[in-house]
Amino acid sequence: MPMLAVVFPIVPGKTEQWRAFIDELNGPRRDEFVASREAVGVRERTFFQATPMGDLVIITLEGDDPIASFGRLMSADDDFSRWFGAQAAEAHGFDPSQLPAGPPSELVVDSQPMAALA
């Protein structure tokens, strides 16, 4: 299944705020989160990575067309999406919906043959 991976830095000093945001997604806003991803046809997985250069968030989207789904997520204008965007902008220091057009990542190596991914 096609996958997209994106990485966002967490603003220094905002990791606990980001974790509270994630607690909301795993708790009281779980159903809204799941529904928003189902509506655009992706499964989202989010990873936290502490590094010497700062904390990062690694997000994978899996679906038939994860790049198009990412675009739909970033342009959604419902209450949940506006809340999500505001939380993400605060944690990451920029508005993710304002990312430049085009694929946010490039697959450069894969341990499986490309034919196996089709």
pTM (predicted TM-score): 0.86
Q: What is the CATH number of domain 3-96?
A: 3.30.70
Given strand 54-63, what is the order of strands in its sheet?
Answer: 3-9, 54-63, 42-51
H or E stretch covering 30: helix 30-40
Q: How confident is the model at residue 114 (pLDDT cuts 50, 70, 90)?
A: low
Average pLDDT over residues 76-100: 88
Work out whether the CA dihedral 58, 33, 88, 42 comes out positive or negative: positive
Contact 62, 3 (CB under 8 A): yes
Note the pLDDT of residue 102. Answer: 63
Q: How confident is the model at residue 115 (pLDDT cuts 50, 70, 90)?
A: low
